[in-house]
Each structure stands twice: as C-alpha cells, then as structure tokens.
Amino acid sequence: MGGSGGGGFHSSRNADQLRAEVQRDLQQARLESDVNALLNEHLAQVNNRDIELINDRLDEIAAALGERLVDLDRLLYGGSVAKHTYVDGLSDIDSLVILKPETLDSDTPQALRNAIDRALHQGLDMGRVASIETGFAVTVTYTDGNQIQLLPAVERSGEIAISDKEGTGWSFIRPRAFQERLTAANRAQDGRVVPTIKLAKAIVDARLGERDRPGGYHMEALAVEAFRGYEGPRHAKAMLARFFSSAAERIKEPVADVTGQSERIDEVFGAANSAQRQTVSAALRRIAARMENATSVEEWRRLLE
C-alpha cells in the first residue's frame, strides 16, 4: 500500500512538471509567433519601395544620358540609403552608371560627375525633380519624396573605374563580386539572409549613433559571415539573434573588400581590436542579449523604435 501511495505522489509530481513544461513551451511558441509577426510587419514597411516606379525612373535617367551611356547597371538591392558610398557599399545604390570616356571633358572623376549632372538637368523633367545632388554618388530626389542614387563610373583599359575617396583619382572595382557572394548566402538560407539584413539595419539605425553604426555594405558582409553553414531556424527572430551574436565578435576584425572599392570595407573602425571596434562590438552584444532575454513582444518592439 505504502509503495503504491509513493508512486502516486511521484506520478502527480511528474504530471505537474510535464504540465509546466508544456505551458512554457506554449508560451515560448506564442512569443516566437508574435515576434515574427511583428518583424514581418516591420519588414513590409522597410520594403516599401516601388520597384516598378524606380525602374521607370532609371529608364528616364538612361534616356537623359543618351549616347554618353555605356551601361546603366541596375543593382536595386537597398537603394537611396547610402550617404557616403565608400562606407555603405555598392549594394546601397540603385544603379552603377557607366559613361563613355570620350564623352567627358577630361579623364578625371570631376569631369565624370559634371557630365552626369549636366545631362540629368537637361534631360529629366525638372518639374518632377526636387533636386540633383552630385558628390561621390549622384542622388536624384523627386517631388514625391522618393530618391534614386547613382554611382558614376567609366570604363578605363577594359575595367570599371569610380572616383577614389579623395574624389581626384580613379579606383578600379569589380561591382558584381560581392553581390554574387551575398546572393549565394541568401540562396543557401532559402532567401532569408537579405530580409534579415534589412531588419538588422533598421535596428542598428535605431540603437546606434552614426559614428558607431556599421555601413550597409559592412552589415551585408557581416551577414555573409554569420550565416555561413548556419543550420538553425530560418525565421526572422532566430536569424536576427544569430546575426547580432555573430557580428558582435566578427566586427572586431577588419573585413577585406572583394569589390576592390577599397582595401577594407570597414576602414573607418581602424585596426583589429581598436577602441572603436570594441565599442561597436559591445553595442551589438547588448542588442543580442536583449533579444535573448526578451520575454514579450513589447521588448522587441522597443528594439525597433
């Protein structure tokens, strides 16, 4: 009798433990579902760029450049977010605009910029254009608020050349080299890497100051590293957590620039383990910790605010 009673006690305790575990699993599954719904909603806002409209406007830009144009290479990955393209990278522009060298006044980056600026002012419908800002990149801002960012380039000795950092000399680039690497990483993860990058950029923009914020190109390179061989869950919540935990460590070391645009993608952060890199690493680690410890959708929502 005593043995039977003891067995009943243990059975009751085990049943209570099982119910508690099931309840925890249900709560975790509900949190995961709700957080992923929030992140997908935010991603829809991030993706709110009218690609058809952008393509139409790139057609207009190509027509304005006319016979000066060799090629208008549409990248269309991020677009209109690069303020300093040497920091943010080729994939942040809408198009690489390659002109014929013989159409320039001289063999200089300034002549290239001037040629594009003149052609756009003369060839575009300026009633629909609010401004054309010509610097390292050319930003066309339309009266509806949309922007298109172009990177001027020229063919020299069979290679693609853009302005160097100083704006006075040439830098030879391989514009598709990194894009191919990013595309392969994205394909290997069923198309989930690029959406993760977009969400990660939104969080970094919200949480880090401009001085400590990795550029767009740098974020993409960190993502390629983070998801090499990744076999975890392929939903937004898990992949964001993976990105930030990986990036917090990887950012301590410089990243080579495979496009040839510069020697290192992240030159602004200095040498390996520099004070600046340590500061950014700590900031990314805090974001990763907040994700890991979050117990409500509201905590995730605050990360995006």
Res 218: pLDDT: 86
Q: Yes or no: say if 89 and 268 are a contact pair by the CB < 8 Å rule.
A: no
Burial label for 287, CB within 10 Å (0-12, 13-18, 19+), is: buried
Res 178: pLDDT: 75
Torsion sign (Cα): 269, 274, 280, 284 = positive
For residues 262-269, average pLDDT: 82
- Domain ranges for the chain, please list them: 51-173, 178-304
pLDDT band at 179 (very low <50, low <70, confident <90, very high): confident
Tens-digit pLDDT profile for residues 84-124:
333 344 556 778 889 999 888 899 999 999 999 999 999 99
Q: Write 171-175 long-range contacts (CB < 8 A, 24+).
A: 171/260, 171/261, 171/262, 172/260, 173/90, 173/259, 173/260, 173/261, 174/258, 174/259, 174/260, 175/73, 175/75, 175/90, 175/96, 175/259
Of 129 and 95, more confident: 129
* Percent share of the chain, pLDDT over 90: 46
Please tell me the distance from the alpha carbon of residue 100 to that of residue 104, in angstroms, as a whole number. Answer: 7
Phi, psi of 134 (to 5 degrees): -115, 110
pLDDT band at 75 (very low <50, low <70, confident <90, very high): low
Please tell me the distance from the alpha carbon of residue 58 to that of residue 12, in angstroms, as a whole number. Answer: 70
Q: How many CA atoms lie within 13 A of 206 on its CB side?
A: 14
Topology at the third CATH level for domain 51-173? Beta Polymerase; domain 2 (3.30.460)
Of 187 and 265, more confident: 187
For residues 190-195, average pLDDT: 92
Mean pLDDT score of the chain = 84
Q: Which pTM was predicted?
A: 0.72
Res 84: pLDDT: 33
